[in-house]
Amino acid sequence: MSKEPLNTPAELPAEFDRWNWGAFLLNWIWGIGNSVFIALLMFVPLVNIVMIFVLGARGSRWAWRNRTWRDLDHFRSTQRKWAIAGFVVLGFFFLLTVGIVFLVQSVIKGSDAYQLTMEQLQSNPVVAEQLGDNIVAGWFVAGSISYSGGGTGEASLSIPVEGDLGSARAFSYSTLENGNWTVRQLNLTLDKGGSAIDVLRQ
């Protein structure tokens, strides 16, 4: 017995065979919900990179064939709900990622290692000669800060900086001993010209 109700066509009409955002964004979850189990290939490394696009392109016709639908309106409404759910999930993870980035930036910029590095840059006459006055850090600072037992730790930071005359990127390595941070290495690479300056030797 055919699984399609008598009032639905065997093949999905061309106007409904369009890009499926629910399949693209929710992939294997959408696949289980729509009996498209080929979507489980999302768990295969490398294949999953291609599979999300295949699901987006062919998901509508696969869902139509693998599930029973009352009519085309039922199919369209259901796939629209999957698409909305996909964008909601995407928005949630986007906001979560932004929140984590802001939190990490706040922690790094509030650290003594970061503050000490900026003090070294702002007080160095050679850095002032290259970048000018009013040296400030850019928004995104990369790097890591780790702490060990006994009041020790280390920090590696990559800080975009700019002044009245130019911009550069500072790379610093600092260590924490007995509760005190010390900048061990501090190099400045100018954006214009790409020349490097060993700040601690200036």
Mark whether 132 and 182 lie in a shared domain: yes
157 vs 193, higher pLDDT: 157
What pLDDT sits at residue 179? Answer: 86
At 88, list the tokens. Answer: 């909601």
Q: Is residue 43 part of a domain?
A: yes
- 85 and 153 belong to one structural domain: no
Decide which of 164 and 3 is more confident. Answer: 164
Q: Which of 41, 74, 105 is the last residue of a domain?
A: 105
Query: Model's pTM, two decimal places?
Result: 0.75
Residue 146 in contact with residue 153, Cβ under 8 Å? yes
Q: Of 122, 117, 124, 120, give the one whose Cα is nearest residue 136.
A: 122
* Distance (Å, whole) CA 25 – CA 59: 11
On the question of pLDDT at 8 being above 90, the answer is no
Number of domains in the chain: 2
Is residue 101 located within the same domain as residue 116? no
Instruction: Note whether residue 153 is domain-resident.
Output: yes
Query: What pLDDT is recorded for position 163?
Result: 94
Domain end, chosen from 66, 81, 105, is at 105
Domain that holds residue 116: 110-201
Residue 161 pairs in a beta bridge with 137, 168
Which of the four pLDDT bands, split at 50, 70 and 90, describes residue 202?
low
- DSSP letter (8 states) at residue 149: T
- Residue 2 has what pLDDT? 44
- C-alpha span between 7 and 184 (Å, rounded): 76
Name the residue with higher pLDDT: 192 or 14: 14
2 assigned to some structural domain:
no
166 and 118 in a common domain: yes
On the 0-12 / 13-18 / 19+ scale of CB atoms within 10 A, 60 is buried
pLDDT of residue 7 exceeding 70: no
CB atoms within 10 A of CB 95: 10
Last residue of a domain, one of 105, 133, 148: 105
DSSP H stretches of helix in the chain: 21-33, 47-66, 72-109, 112-123, 125-131
Same domain, 141 and 171: yes
3-state secondary structure at position 158: strand
Residues 91 and 29 reside in one and the same domain: yes
26 and 51 together in one domain: yes
